[in-house]
């Protein structure tokens, strides 16, 4: 019997606040700024994982408003092949870093911190384009 190697499911949430979106500074490798998110636990829905990870990393109670897109490029995470389902959500309050986050802050499109981890620069470019034009991303390949 051969062992199957499957991609690992993850979630990320673009948390919209009145002054911008919430990003976290990663405490562990790969370092950089990222959308709040993480691995989906066994027995957990994607939506529940997105809300849980957002709360753990930012202290915010997020209400998901839509599922944005799924990102699955095999090299999107240098640790292993992951598939990220990205949600958009809203929250109120001030983000406070927790769990895997060393910092959490709100940023506007023209003021994003560097470096961004994983493929989050591409995700955010897709998001801001979607907000401007109403066009969802599609990455064939």
Is residue 2 a part of any domain in this protein?
Answer: no
Which domain CATH number covers 123? 3.90.79.10
Total domain count for the chain? 1
Is residue 140 a part of any domain in this protein?
Answer: no
Exposure b/e, 19-53, CB count within 10 A at least 16 = b: ebbbbbbbeeeeebbbbbbbebeeeeebeebbbbb
Is residue 141 a part of any domain in this protein?
Answer: no
Structure token pair of residue 10: 């993850």
pTM (two decimals)? 0.94
For residue 31, give its domain range.
8-133
Structure token pair of residue 69: 């897109």
For the stretch 52-82, pLDDT in tens is 999 999 999 999 999 999 999 999 999 999 9
For the stretch 107-141, pLDDT in tens is 999 999 999 999 999 999 999 999 999 999 987 65
């Amino acid at each position: 019997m051969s062992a199957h190697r499957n991609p690992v499911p993850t979630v990320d949430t673009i948390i919209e606040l009145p002054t911008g979106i919430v990003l976290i500074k990663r405490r562990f490798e790969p370092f950089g700024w990222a959308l709040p998110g993480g691995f989906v636990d066994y027995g957990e829905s994607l939506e529940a994982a997105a809300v849980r990870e957002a709360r753990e990393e930012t202290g915010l109670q997020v209400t998901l408003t839509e599922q944005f897109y799924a990102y699955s490029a095999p090299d999107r995470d240098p640790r292993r092949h992951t598939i990220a389902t990205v949600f958009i959500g809203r929250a109120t309050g001030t983000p406070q870093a927790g769990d895997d986050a060393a910092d959490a802050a709100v940023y506007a499109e023209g003021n994003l911190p560097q470096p961004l981890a994983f493929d989050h620069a591409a995700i955010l470019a897709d998001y801001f384009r979607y907000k401007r034009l109403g066009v969802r991303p599609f990455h064939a390949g």
